[in-house]
């Protein structure tokens, strides 16, 4: 049945629509932290639909909210008052830390970043944007144009002039051998030098932890240091929280808070986990930035009632069950367990991350050279063992990405770590 479905997939869908595994998987249903395939095999899910199933599969509270809202009205557009949209916006504005915050809902992280770029370039009257090397911000024409990861940027054409800054990758590049303070100082000096050679940019857009880039991050405080330089010149800071928001990193509710000296970003974008699988994205900005557009705009599907009902129920569950604290506690145990395993496997170059956002970078032993073949082999071995993980990285996709639902239990973390240990040892 799966082979037949794969053939149909290839007949009608683009060749560039990526599929995992030599024999692609059809997931038919899920519950908690587990999913089942079309053959009835169960898997522990350590990737959550690319960090989207944030709380749990088939969470009853979200399912009930969606069902009840569907029985009333599914959609009316932003041309009419929308109670669930207003209620979710109020909660997100309070949680954002941005003063006088306004919230605009979209259907995806890509669209959220598009909107942030529109706001920043309009507000600053500049089409120049700073982005981080190894970054990823979406698959639209404008977001592909600012993505700093070659594997996910199919064209250099863009409505924007993009300049790339050092600092998103701690363990590689020209500053990798420096200590944290020296690393930050070198990246700030690079930023200052870059700004001395160009017209004033609209904004810097940055992921606090690079997602597609392999869950790599700079030392805490880098973006606060960047912000001081940006603020001197009136340049905005956009925090792309599509993967890091809602407590995923454990220590903080937003990823930017690890770099919080000087206050919140000017603009925050979000998506993925807030909908727990429903299509929700959005932008948060202070009123003067959000209101800078001088023409009409709407969002046909952004903020639709059924997705807002899901978002409200999901956010309520996350806060009432302290899933941020769970990500910190269980994620801390999991990363230490994986570091102990990695120390015994020569192909593991680094185990990094925070909370339930963990990356394992693989390299050819003794060389430090990225090893995408090993990453692909571990991905297959983990699946054979009953575990689903992701992969990424800016160096030939050599990093494994681990991001289970934030309700992960200690027992499930140990189960997944044991499967990963076997998978990693299988490539030696």
Structure tokens at 102: 């306004």
CB atoms under 10 Å from CB of 257, counted, come to 16
Query: Which residues are 358's β-sheet partners?
Result: 353, 402
2-58+322-425 and 63-320: same fold?
Answer: no
DSSP state of 151: G
Q: Is the pLDDT of residue 339 over 80?
A: yes
> 64 CB contacts (<8 Å, ≥6 apart)?
313
63-320: CATH topology is 3.40.640
Q: Which CATH number fits domain 2-58+322-425: 2.40.30.10, 3.20.20.10, 3.40.190.10, 3.90.1150.10?
A: 3.90.1150.10
Give residue-wise pLDDT tens across range 23-82: 999 999 999 999 999 999 999 999 999 999 999 999 999 999 999 999 999 999 999 999
Q: Is the pLDDT of residue 157 over 90?
A: no
> 111 CB contacts (<8 Å, ≥6 apart)?
138, 140, 281, 302
Q: Among residues 214, 219, 285, which one has the least CA distance to residue 243?
A: 214
Give residue-wise pLDDT tens across range 84-125: 999 999 999 999 999 999 999 999 999 999 999 999 999 999
Question: For residue 231, with 0-12 CB atoms within 10 Å meaning exposed, 13-18 middle and 19 or more buried, which class applies?
Answer: middle
The predicted model scores a pTM of 0.96
Banded pLDDT at 357 (limits 50, 70, 90): very high
Radius of gyration of the chain (CA): 21
Structural domain boundaries of the chain? 2-58+322-425, 63-320
> How far is it, in rounded angstroms, from Cα 376 to Cα 360?
12
Q: Is 180 helix (H, G, I), strand (E, B) or coil?
A: helix
Spell out the long-range contacts of 45-49 with Cβ–Cβ below 8 A and sequence spacing 24 or more: 45/388, 45/404, 45/405, 46/387, 46/388, 46/389, 46/390, 46/402, 46/403, 46/404, 46/416, 47/388, 47/389, 47/390, 47/401, 47/402, 47/403, 47/404, 48/273, 48/403, 48/404, 48/405, 49/277
Identify whether the C-beta of residue 162 lies closer than 8 Å to the C-beta of residue 204.
no
Give residue-wise pLDDT tens across range 281-299: 999 999 999 999 999 889 9
Give residue-wise pLDDT tens across range 247-275: 999 999 999 999 977 789 999 999 999 99
């Amino acid at each position: 049945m799966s082979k037949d479905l794969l053939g149909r997939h290839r007949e009608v869908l683009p060749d560039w629509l990526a599929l995992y595994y030599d024999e692609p998987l059809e997931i038919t249903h899920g519950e908690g932290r587990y999913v089942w395939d079309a053959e009835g095999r169960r898997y522990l899910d350590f990737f959550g639909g690319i960090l989207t199933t944030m709380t749990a599969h088939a969470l009853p509270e979200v399912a009930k909210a969606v069902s009840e809202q569907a029985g009333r009205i599914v959609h009316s557009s932003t041309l009419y008052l929308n109670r669930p949209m207003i209620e979710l916006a109020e909660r997100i504005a309070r949680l954002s830390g941005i003063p006088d915050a306004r919230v605009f809902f979209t259907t995806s992280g890509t669209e959220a970043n598009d909107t942030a770029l529109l706001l920043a370039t309009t507000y600053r009257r500049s089409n120049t944007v700073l982005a981080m090397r190894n970054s990823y911000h979406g698959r639209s024409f404008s977001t592909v144009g600012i993505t700093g990861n070659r594997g996910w940027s199919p064209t250099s054409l863009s409505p924007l002039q993009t300049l790339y800054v050092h600092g998103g990758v701690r363990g590689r590049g020209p500053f990798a051998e420096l200590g944290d303070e020296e690393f930050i100082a070198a990246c700030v000096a690079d930023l200052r030098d870059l700004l001395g050679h160009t017209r004033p940019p609209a904004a810097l857009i940055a992921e606090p932890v690079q997602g597609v880039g392999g869950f790599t991050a700079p030392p805490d405080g880098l973006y606060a240091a960047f912000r001081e330089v940006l603020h001197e010149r009136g340049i905005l800071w956009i925090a792309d929280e599509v993967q890091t928001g809602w407590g995923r990193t454990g220590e903080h509710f937003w990823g930017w808070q690890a770099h919080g000296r000087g206050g919140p970003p000017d603009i925050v974008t979000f998506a993925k986990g807030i909908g727990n699988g429903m299509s929700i994205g959005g932008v948060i900005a202070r009123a003067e930035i959000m209101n800078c557009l001088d023409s009409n705009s709407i969002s046909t599907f952004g903020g639709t009632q059924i997705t807002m009902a899901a978002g409200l129920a999901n956010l309520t569950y996350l806060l009432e069950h302290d899933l941020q604290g769970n990500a910190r506690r269980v994620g801390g145990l999991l990363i230490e367990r994986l570091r102990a395993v990695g120390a015994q496997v020569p192909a593991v170059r680094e185990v990094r991350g925070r909370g339930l956002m963990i990356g394992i970078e693989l390299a050819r032993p003794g060389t430090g050279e990225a090893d995408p073949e090993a990453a692909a082999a571990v991905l297959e071995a983990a699946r054979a063992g009953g575990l689903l993980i992701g992969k990424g990285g800016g160096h030939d996709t050599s990093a494994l990405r681990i991001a289970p639902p934030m309700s992960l239990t200690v027992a499930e973390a140990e189960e997944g770590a044991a499967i990963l240990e076997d998978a990693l040892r299988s490539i030696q």
